[in-house]
Amino acid sequence: MKIVYYAKRNLHVPHLLPVSNWIRDNHPEVEQVFASPPYIPSMEDMPGVGLNETLITDLKHRGYDWIGPSKIGNWRPDVTVMADADFGGIDWQGCIANVNHGLISKGTFYTNRQTVQRENGADLILVPGSHHAKVLQKMLHKPVLATGFVKFDPVGRGELTQQSAREKYGIGAKDRVVTFAPTYNIELSAVPVITDGLRTFANQGLKVLVKLHGMSPESWKQMYRLLALLEENIIYVDDMDLTPSIMAADVVISDVSSAFMEAMALNRPVILVNNPLQKRFPAYDPNDIEYAWRDVGVQVGTRHEIIKSVHHALDHPEDKEDRRKFYGPKLVGPIDGRAAERASTAIMQLAAQYTQRHSQVSAGWNPS
């Protein structure tokens, strides 16, 4: 049996790797490779494509081969596993499983719009929580399964804790930590609202972790990198994975980014910045969870309100905990360290069905 993990972007890798690792540990007979389109870095308003050299090298160090897209056809995979519903460019054989990568809708994913029907391009759709499954099952004719959020497996297994995350960033256990994790769209992001206002926290002795979305404009990255150089208490996080920054936090400032959903699921108080242009976002839909579930955090609109709310949340972390515990499981399923196992098992079943059907067809069996 052969499985190719086709990562269209850098950020898909953390969602694919736990699956490939589980299959390698439990089904060593399965051949696995990673593949990605030719690399194009992200630019202003233009998402990057493919995997950069560092990531490919990292995959190789982890024992995985990487092949270019033109070679996948000859490799003849039984299953292609992806973390996105963008199936463009796939012209090789085998079935497709999509483990998805986000938690929120952004007017495109997990919504009742027609655009989600592109998910039907996969033979198996795996989603994190029951909420996502419920939305997609109404829209799609392909099987949809909620298997949990693989990125939280290390948390579920106790490998990633607040202490270990803080150690990673050189932050003490007693420090009070604010994580700023905004999205990248100008109409939605908290960045234009607070800009360099994060210095206030730094000057008040709080530690500030700035974790920008990978697709953020270069000018935003430059501003926060410079701020981190000027302020000891501001740490610019260049990780690909957001979860350690959330785990390290006492409070999370976000906007409509899936960061606030992760924070909520990990029971961190969240301050939700409403960008004044939010409703002008082309795909704005108040029914999407990033708008419909905002009662899980404190909504703010100005820099002053952000500062005030952060301090309140630091002093009263129990506020809104009931809402976090209500929404959390619907979003990410159980945090038990076994999401990758559930996803991998489903993929192995799909692969088995495919190889069985394929061998029957090869032997002259006519499905009609």
Partner 1 sequence: MPRILFHFQRPSQLPVLTPVLDVLRDIDGVELAITITPINRRHLDGFDGQNRLQAEKIGLPILDDFTAWNPDAVIMAENYAHRFEGNGKLALVPERISSKGLSFTEHQAAERDNLLDLICAPGPIHKQKTEQSGKVFTSVIGTGFPKLDAVFKEGFAVQAKLKQYARISPKKKAILYAPTEVMPLSSVPILWTRIRQLANDQTHLFVKLHPRSPYSWTEDFRLLAGNDPNITLVREDDLASFLALADVVISDTSSAYLEAILLDKPVVLFENPNQREYPLYQSNDLEYMFQKAAFVTSSFEELNTAVQVYLADPEQHQEERAEARLQLHVDLDGNSAQRVADAILGLLDGIQDSIVSGKHDQADTAIILPVDHFDPENAERTLGTLKLAGAAFNLFVLPLNGHTHEWLDRLASYHPVLLNTPIDMEALQSYQYTCVLQQSVLGFNGWLTRLQNHLRMEKQLQAVVPQLAFGIPSQNPTFRLGTEISPGPQTEQLDHQLKVRIPNERVPLSVAPALSCILIRNIPQNMQIVVSSILEKGKQLPLQHVALAMDTLIEEASENAVYEAEWAYPLSPEQKQLAEERVIALADWIQMPLREQLPPDAPVFNRKGSNGKTAQPATDNGHVRLARHYINRNKRHEAEKQVRFGLEKDPDHPELIALARELGILTGREQ
Site residues, partner 1 (CB under 8 A): 37-41, 43-44, 46, 49-50, 186, 191-193, 195-197, 199-200, 203, 218-220, 222-223, 225-227, 229-230, 275-277, 280, 301-304, 307
Provide, rounded to whole angstroms, the least separation between the CB of residue 222 and partner 1: 6
Provide, rounded to whole angstroms, the least separation between the CB of residue 278 and partner 1: 11
Provide, rounded to whole angstroms, the least separation between the CB of residue 190 and partner 1: 11
Burial of 242 (0-12, 13-18, 19+ CB in 10 A): buried
Provide, rounded to whole angstroms, the least separation between the CB of residue 107 and partner 1: 20
CA distance 28 to 82: 20
Task: Decide: 229 and 337 in contact? Cβ < 8 Å.
Answer: no
Minimum CB distance to partner 1 smaller for 140 or for 277: 277
Minimum CB distance to partner 1 smaller for 41 or for 63: 41
Provide, rounded to whole angstroms, the least separation between the CB of residue 2 and partner 1: 24
